[in-house]
Structures are given as structure tokens and as C-alpha cells.
Copies of this chain bind each other. A is one copy, B any other.
């Protein structure tokens, strides 16, 4: 059986995602976690993110016109949406959701999920 070891790299990456309060890109994770572990390689970030996804700890967020972001699974499991700041290029979580979306669909279409991305300027950039 395979054992999962608790390295400082894993912990740095996990805590960066956990404490960000917003979905992060691979590069953001790498840059931020490098503060804790300066030697951190990008290769390790990719590998660790995948493991955290497999372990159900982290979930990926697909957004339009940008690379995937990653957020804690317990955040992802609570239905929410995202805001994309066009100035600083960061993504933020947004609570709430417009309902009644299935009425927008043509006859015969079956709605399974939806993704809403708001864009503009975040508070810091406005």
C-alpha cells in the first residue's frame, strides 16, 4: 500500500489554497507557496495539486479566457460563482446565484450545471 508523506511542500501548497479565500492559478500557488519553501519547483506544484484533487481536498475551477484555478473542495462544494478582475487578473468567489436558469433553455435541452463569471474591477483596482 502507498503511504502519503507529509512534506513541507505539500503543507505549503495546501495551506496556500486553503487560506487564499479565492481560487488560485498554478502560478499564483507556486509564487505564494515559494514564500514558505523557496526551493519549491513548479513540477512539485503540478504533482501536488493533482494529488490533492485525487484526495478530494482541492477542486479545479474552469473559467472563460483564463487558465484553470484551484480552490478548497469544501468551498467548491458550496455552490457559488466567480468574479474576474480585468485589472489585476485575480479571481474572487461570489456568493449567490441567479435561479430559474432552466427556463432559458430551448425545448428538449437538459440542464445539469452552470458557471457564471462576472468581470470588472475588484475593490482594490476600482
B121 touches A110 (CB 8 A): yes
Quick one: given A64-B62, A65-B62, are A121 and B109 in contact (CB under 8 Å)? yes
With an 8 Å Cβ cutoff, the count of chain A residues facing the other chain is: 39
Q: How many copies does the complex hold?
A: 2
**A119 lies within 8 A of chain B by Cβ:** yes
Output the least CB separation between A41 and chain B (Å).
27
Q: How long is the Cα–Cα vector from A68 to B110 in the complex, in angstroms?
A: 23
Closest to A93 in B: B106
Closest to A121 in B: B110
A113 touches B106 (CB 8 A): no
Known: A98-B101, A105-B118, A114-B117. 16 other contacts (CB 8 A): A62-B64, A64-B64, A65-B68, A96-B103, A98-B98, A98-B99, A101-B116, A105-B120, A108-B122, A108-B126, A110-B121, A111-B119, A111-B120, A112-B119, A113-B119, A114-B118
